[in-house]
Structure 1
Amino acid sequence: MAVVNSSLTKLVVQHTCRVPFPEGPAGSGAVAARQFDAVLMTVGFKLSSELLAHLSGLSEGTVIDTAVRVLPVVRAMVGGHVQHNAYFRDFPRDVPDTLDFWLRCLRQALADPEASPGTAATVADEARHGVLNLLALPAYGRYQHTYEEMLAAHDELIAKAADRVTILHLGRGLAEELQDLYLRLAGSVTPLGDDDLRALRRLAGHCATGPQPETIPIRENRAVVNQARLAAGADPLLDTVTDVLRLACALSGGDVTLQEPTRFASLSRSVRRSLLAGLDDVVRADPGKLGDVAARREQWKRLGERLHPHEYPRWPHAAQVFAVARRERTAPSFAARVEARLAAGDVPGAATLLKGAPGLLFRSLDRLLRTASTPAERDAVLEIAETVAGRVSGRVVLSVREHLLNRAAGGGTRVFANRLGRGITAPDTRPPLDEQTVERLAAFLDAEIQRRLPPIGRLLVDPDVLDVALPLSGKATADGLGVLPRGSVTRVDGELLRFFVHWRQRDHDTDFDLSALMLDGDYRNPTWLSYTSLTQVGGEHSGDIVVAPDGATEFINLRLDRVPARFVIPQVNIYSGEGFDRVAESFFGFMLRDADQAGRPFEPRTVRMKSELRGPGRVALPLVFMRGDDGRWRAKWLHLHLKGRPAFNRVEGNRLSTARLVRATVERRYLTVRHLIGLLAERAGSVTTWDGRTIPGGPVTFIGLERPEGLHEASRVFTPDRLRDLIPA
């Protein structure tokens, strides 16, 4: 039970920065609580005054038990749960010139033939032919010192007020915290990221039979909840045939987003009956939903082989689904009927038909408006959209509004990112939308969102959150600490910028390479820091590590005042071995510190962002650092991958595709918190910009990067992990 409670506590701390209400005998725990707080501060966390006071009134053993549960969680949140060694022991000092370093490794290999029998002869033979195989050199790519020896070479970090401090707040009881987290995740109006979806799957097993959200609008969330409901003996929540397909994927341990094929498992008779009965109910209530089957015909055929619908004649409507999948029955899809209208040039007719699917109508507005041949047809499309707007989800309304930010003029480059973060660019060949049409639609969409926003009383806003992109999809955000949605922009304050990648291989030797591509204001004149260029453009690379059985870390250190480039693009290239989705562990992050702070290559309290590296590509682009006209640096979140090559990816080989993708993302306009606050302001009793110090009395609605201490207990707080709750249903 203790292990279960510890893992559930971990979920709460990771997702909320709250410690479930510690319970235990009263006692004198003040000394242990202060020691707990002091250890937390070494990794950039701190107990809130309320939590510190509560722990101080408990027994010392209870405080220690709480610390044992919480400390490993927060260390992992910043990447401090592993030892971060650097190839060059004194990094960032004494990093050699690249060619000098390679020659030193070569000389060592030739001077000590007994250390690696056969290596010296092989290297000498290759060198005579003008070839230098770095991987064959014993001193290359493998740590030459222990972690402890590296620590001894560095002075202690000098603490500064600007170091990151993340407050851990006192939560409610564990059961209440789990229930609240479950309701927020299950009822989310935007798709969840991978980490949140895994958390929902875990929570659903505990909460599926308790209170439920009023609606579960995101279909993959519903599949996860339905899996838990079936296990608890409750009926699944189904209203489309695809809900049944997603549930079958969940039961088989597959992909509920349906992006990847699932190998369906053998299902028990009771589960097969539940799926077929649910499918029969859906089709009987609306036979038109058979039109959704053709889009995933092969998946339905595979599922039919597991469900054996012919054994259950009492559910004939369910059998029709598989008949459509086998092409034994025709069921024109809704999209096909719309395409037929458009092919006939009947734009208003297509829009009228789409009234039956309001979300699809809104997602098709650009095409309908640019296809319309007359102002009267455009007006007809807009009028139809206005009549059904109330039935469209807030996420879709906001997505269309963001789309309009980039459609005032034609030309340029479009950027596409799928659910897995694979990014590509393409020329924008669409004709521009009529300016008056864009203005009319934008004003209507803003009014529709504003109409749905609740009255919020006093609004307190942290200015640092204004340029954070609205989280219209959790798929546009990597999992981690301090991570913001794609398109978000935040200040970068510090003299030294140091980013890092850590990975640990699973089954095969794996070589990740951390690099930094640097571009001028026109996204040209590339220079870079990498294992082939250790000291360039105001920075240092910590050295190449080529195998990671116990984990490896690479760093890049930059003095921002010495960087001549306008853009600095960190990237992680997979040179060889396992991919991001295959390795046992991989994450990226960056630290900020002043030049005089000294310290180890990795200092947890200076970590500003740490994100998991997952995705299908072989090149990861987490974010870009940008120097503005005012000379200040800012970060813009990318969360993108390039497909790359199966092996031997290097910054030199992808600099052109990286530059195109980054330029398209940087120049794209995203809908931000600033826009939503502008709409909220008219419904707020008052709006105050937080100065970072003054806490108003009484309850407020606070929107910011972190919850400040001292807010009234009845206040509503929206930090990055809860920004999705601002998006109206």
Structure 2
Amino acid sequence: MAQTLEPLVVRHTHRLPSPSGPAGSGDIAARQFDAALMSVGFKLSAGLLERLSGLSEGTVVGTAVRTLATVREIVGDHVRHNVYFVDFPANVPDTFDFWMRCIAEALADDSSRARTLDQLRGGVVDLLTLPSYGNYRHTYAEMLTAHEELIAAAGDRMTVLHLGGALDDETGALYLKLAGSATPLGEGGLRDLEILAGRCVDGPQPEAIPVRENRAVINRARLAAGADLLLDTVTDVLRLACAVSGGDVTLQEPTRFRSLPRPVRRALLAGLDSVVAAAPAKLADVTAHREAFKRLGERLHPHEYPRWPHAADVFAVARGEKEARSIDSRVEELLDRGDVTGAAMLLKSAPGKLFRSLDRLLRSAVGQDERDAVIGAVEQVAPLVSGRVALSLREHLHNRGEDSLPGKPGARRVFVNRTGRAWVTGDARPPVQPADRERLIAALDADMRRRLPDPGRLLVDPDVLDVALPLSGKATASGLGVLPRGSVSPVDGELLRFFVYWKQTERTTDYDLSALLLDARYKTITWLSYTTLTDREGEHSGDITEAPDGASEFINLRLGAARGTFIVPQVNIFSGEGFEEVEESFFGFMLRDAEQQGRPFEPRTVRMKSELRGPGRVALPLAFRRGRDGRWHAKWLHLYLKGTPSANRVEENRVSVATLLRGIVEREQLTVRYLVDLMCGGTATTVTEWDGRTVPDGPVTYIGLQRPDGLHPDSRVITPENLRDLIPG
């Protein structure tokens, strides 16, 4: 179990649980471990190095082997990254010349000559039929010999691993943090939460589990362990049934319920019965998922268990045999009658729904008296709404101001669902009245200031201030150096290199890495892809068309030579398995100085690596924008376009990508800066800008991109790995 939990802690916290073992002289092995870590862009903190040095050599070596495997996977160095053109980025040919060479080689090959001649007579040659196209022509070892060693540079990434507590303490603390998260977790986070929930089933539980998906996976682990379930609504039971059946716990997609064992059926029915018995009004929740409950009832056979009559009521409501009006239907009835004030008063009993309905209520209101009634209701219930919902409304109102008037001709709205699927539509909404907007913003700011804890002495890394708060569902992919959607981070380096890796599960699968260059008006300048291998900005590493053993593609860009304002990398699925079907797929980028040389993939130059696990056939992880000062910044997207079933290409989707990018870039997100300003407003909080060197003597609240070494042990530390902790409940 320790071998499973220790990597999990390292991934989430960049802390290594305190190694245990016999005392000894492990200092030499510890220094060797540190040197090996530095080769992949990690290093030991002073405290961790000291701890390891006092243990036996065997203990240190065992710890090093496990930890190196973990950090290599974090950065993407656990696989072999080969390239089609052996000495990429040098000597990448012109695209047309390369294709002509492939055709010539096909004509020289007895097995392909006739087929190629037939295609030439027809005027169209399918590149995929040419023997030398799309497959590695050299081994990984041969590729390595074609590249000089990487020259170390001051700008290389160095991620510090800190000394943690005992493994049980670290896993328990991480479980409470993930389970009690105020924001939804990604796919990887939910998977890890379930592992931890099974381990911590008999330990302390969080005071609250605000995110329902989290509750579902925790309950699945508790169900497997025979522990009591943590249920609050009938929908909690439905989500648990979806989890047990391997379905969608977010309830966005229908789940095909499995035939459930009798003990599971009893547990689910008992859970439904206890929830409704304690609060019969919760039967109204059934109508929102009526069809799902009807299908679940067919699997649970409630008629076989007369001792749980309240559970039977759930399915009677689902079948329409028993009435339980939902608050949504009652609100709709009032709005149909034009009673906006009555709808607002009713929604006070469901504060989250009131906040989510605010814009509609204000648009439906007739006159200032009705708008004042709606705003007054919001002010009264604001303390009862979760921090994430309150901040989401605050961000929404920020983007409903005069400077970004949605009702203007040509205005667009961008929608992003929980899985990252994005689409754009026109925006014809009338504006929110300026005075109403200002009153609401003032109320929300005052409430949020009240909720935020006193940070005491605040130490802030200025690079974190433009990181977006993770409010909108699963707005962050798992990986290294990944920031929430909408975040902006500086990009310092001469060479920007993108990479994608994928490994197919069963079917031949072809992913294509591309980069689109746009001007300030979002018009296409050029692109780099398998159809444009070289341009003045950079080079493409060559097209790989199948990945039974894994495959990689790269794009090398010289930022100083780049034309335009935006660089948009994307991963297009040309054929085969989707991002959620392949065995593994990830995207990332590296930054280098021009003289560094090195292999196509160098782990210590990797600034970001994120998993590609989403719907659609085109992935847009992030974009790069040149500012007026000439400096580049990354804008984080984490988006997926539907695309087409096959043959997705950058040339075909450049218009939709540009439209979507414009909507994201021109929308302003709430960032860490907003909460820092609230923490400091009207208080005696001392704020210090982190200079990267000086560590204060006493405890601080540190907010930054990476935890500094040497902070006081009683400090509160907020980094991207636990940014969700900054959002109040």
TM over 0.5: yes
Letter in structure 1 aligned against 2:427: D
- Cα shift at 1:455: 1.2
The answer on 1:719 being equivalent to 2:712 is no
> After superposition, where does 1:330-369 map in structure 2 within 5 Å?
330-369=323-362
> After superposition, where does 1:507-526 map in structure 2 within 5 Å?
507-526=506-525
Output the CA distance in 2 between the equivalents of 1:516 and 1:523: 14
Letter in structure 2 aligned against 1:478: A
Counterpart residue number, 2:267: 274
Counterpart residue number, 2:129: 136
Counterpart residue number, 1:303: 296
Counterpart residue number, 1:405: 398
Partner deviation per Cα, 1:578-614 (whole Å, 9 max, x = no partner): 0000001100000000000000000000000000001
Output the CA distance in 1 between the equivalents of 2:261 and 2:641: 41
Counterpart residue number, 1:501: 500
The answer on 1:6 being equivalent to 2:30 is no
Please tell me whether the aligned partners of residues 510 and 573 of structure 2 are also in contact (alpha carbons under 8 angstroms): yes
Please tell me whether the aligned partners of residues 516 and 524 of structure 2 are also in contact (alpha carbons under 8 angstroms): no
Counterpart residue number, 1:146: 139
Counterpart residue number, 2:479: 480
The answer on 1:371 being equivalent to 2:370 is no
> After superposition, where does 1:526-537 map in structure 2 within 5 Å?
526-537=525-536
The answer on 1:430 being equivalent to 2:426 is no
Letter in structure 1 aligned against 2:76: G
**Partner secondary structure for residue 352 of structure 2:** helix
Output the CA distance in 2 between the equivalents of 1:432 and 1:388: 24
Letter in structure 1 aligned against 2:406: G
Partner deviation per Cα, 1:420-448 (whole Å, 9 max, x = no partner): 10000111110010011111100110000
Partner deviation per Cα, 1:310-361 (whole Å, 9 max, x = no partner): 1112222211111122222232221111011111111110000101100000
> After superposition, where does 1:583-602 map in structure 2 within 5 Å?
583-602=582-601
**Partner secondary structure for residue 624 of structure 1:** strand
Output the CA distance in 2 between the equivalents of 1:240 and 1:548: 45
Letter in structure 1 aligned against 2:723: L
Output the CA distance in 2 between the equivalents of 1:571 and 1:390: 42
Please tell me whether the aligned partners of residues 25 and 62 of structure 1 are also in contact (alpha carbons under 8 angstroms): yes
Please tell me whether the aligned partners of residues 679 and 685 of structure 2 are also in contact (alpha carbons under 8 angstroms): no
Counterpart residue number, 1:668: 667
Output the CA distance in 2 between the equivalents of 1:228 and 1:483: 28
Deviates more, 1:622-631 or 1:230-239: 230-239
Please tell me whether the aligned partners of residues 209 and 232 of structure 1 are also in contact (alpha carbons under 8 angstroms): no
Output the CA distance in 1 between the equivalents of 2:202 and 2:242: 21
Letter in structure 2 aligned against 1:289: K
Output the CA distance in 1 between the equivalents of 2:262 and 2:103: 66
Counterpart residue number, 2:571: 572
The answer on 1:24 being equivalent to 2:17 is no
Please tell me whether the aligned partners of residues 458 and 684 of structure 1 are also in contact (alpha carbons under 8 angstroms): no
Letter in structure 1 aligned against 2:663: A
Letter in structure 2 aligned against 1:711: L
- Cα shift at 1:473: 4.3
Output the CA distance in 2 between the equivalents of 1:721 and 1:527: 36
Please tell me whether the aligned partners of residues 421 and 475 of structure 1 are also in contact (alpha carbons under 8 angstroms): yes
- Cα shift at 1:641: 0.4
Please tell me whether the aligned partners of residues 525 and 563 of structure 2 are also in contact (alpha carbons under 8 angstroms): no
The answer on 1:87 being equivalent to 2:80 is no
Counterpart residue number, 1:688: 688
Deviates more, 1:460-469 or 1:247-256: 247-256
Letter in structure 2 aligned against 1:723: L
Output the CA distance in 2 between the equivalents of 1:208 and 1:472: 28
**Partner secondary structure for residue 85 of structure 1:** coil
Output the CA distance in 1 between the equivalents of 2:416 and 2:72: 31
What's the TM-score once normalised by structure 2's chain length?
A: 0.98
Letter in structure 2 aligned against 1:450: R
- Cα shift at 1:627: 0.4
Output the CA distance in 1 between the equivalents of 2:226 and 2:524: 63
2:204 to 204, 211, 217: 211
The answer on 1:283 being equivalent to 2:282 is no
Deviates more, 1:677-686 or 1:209-218: 677-686
Q: Would the alpha carbon gap of residues 415 and 473 (structure 1) be closer, same or farther in structure 2, given more than 3 Å must change?
A: closer
Please tell me whether the aligned partners of residues 456 and 684 of structure 1 are also in contact (alpha carbons under 8 angstroms): no
**Partner secondary structure for residue 138 of structure 1:** coil
Q: Would the alpha carbon gap of residues 123 and 264 (structure 1) be closer, same or farther in structure 2, given more than 3 Å must change?
A: same
Letter in structure 2 aligned against 1:69: R
Please tell me whether the aligned partners of residues 25 and 57 of structure 2 are also in contact (alpha carbons under 8 angstroms): yes
Output the CA distance in 2 between the equivalents of 1:532 and 1:233: 57
Output the CA distance in 1 between the equivalents of 2:585 and 2:166: 33
- Cα shift at 1:230: 2.7
**Partner secondary structure for residue 569 of structure 1:** strand
The answer on 1:612 being equivalent to 2:608 is no
Output the CA distance in 2 between the equivalents of 1:544 and 1:638: 25
Output the CA distance in 1 between the equivalents of 2:225 and 2:612: 34
**Partner secondary structure for residue 94 of structure 1:** coil
**Partner secondary structure for residue 249 of structure 1:** helix
The answer on 1:97 being equivalent to 2:94 is yes
Output the CA distance in 1 between the equivalents of 2:267 and 2:359: 41
Q: Would the alpha carbon gap of residues 498 and 269 (structure 1) be closer, same or farther in structure 2, given more than 3 Å must change?
A: same
Counterpart residue number, 1:624: 623
Output the CA distance in 2 between the equivalents of 1:477 and 1:58: 38
Output the CA distance in 2 between the equivalents of 1:535 and 1:297: 55
The answer on 1:42 being equivalent to 2:42 is no
Please tell me whether the aligned partners of residues 481 and 608 of structure 2 are also in contact (alpha carbons under 8 angstroms): yes
Letter in structure 2 aligned against 1:688: T
Moved over 3 A (4+): none
Counterpart residue number, 1:471: 470
- Cα shift at 1:405: 1.3
2:172 to 179, 199, 216: 179
Please tell me whether the aligned partners of residues 455 and 684 of structure 1 are also in contact (alpha carbons under 8 angstroms): no
Please tell me whether the aligned partners of residues 28 and 53 of structure 2 are also in contact (alpha carbons under 8 angstroms): yes
Letter in structure 2 aligned against 1:410: P
**Partner secondary structure for residue 596 of structure 1:** coil
2:66 to 52, 64, 69: 69
Output the CA distance in 2 between the equivalents of 1:105 and 1:252: 49
Counterpart residue number, 2:251: 258
Deviates more, 1:602-611 or 1:129-138: 129-138
Output the CA distance in 2 between the equivalents of 1:178 and 1:396: 28
- Cα shift at 1:499: 0.4
Output the CA distance in 2 between the equivalents of 1:232 and 1:138: 54
Output the CA distance in 2 between the equivalents of 1:684 and 1:402: 27
> After superposition, where does 1:47-58 map in structure 2 within 5 Å?
47-58=44-55
2:241 to 233, 243, 248: 248
Partner deviation per Cα, 1:238-288 (whole Å, 9 max, x = no partner): 221101101112222322212222222333333322221221222233333
What's the TM-score once normalised by structure 1's chain length?
A: 0.98
**Partner secondary structure for residue 710 of structure 1:** coil
Output the CA distance in 1 between the equivalents of 2:422 and 2:277: 41
Partner deviation per Cα, 1:134-180 (whole Å, 9 max, x = no partner): 00111100011111111111110000111000000011011111000
The answer on 1:657 being equivalent to 2:653 is no
Output the CA distance in 2 between the equivalents of 1:472 and 1:193: 12
**Partner secondary structure for residue 282 of structure 2:** helix
Output the CA distance in 2 between the equivalents of 1:501 and 1:24: 40
Counterpart residue number, 1:380: 373
Output the CA distance in 1 between the equivalents of 2:223 and 2:655: 50
- Cα shift at 1:231: 3.0
RMSD in angstroms over aligned alpha carbons? 1.1
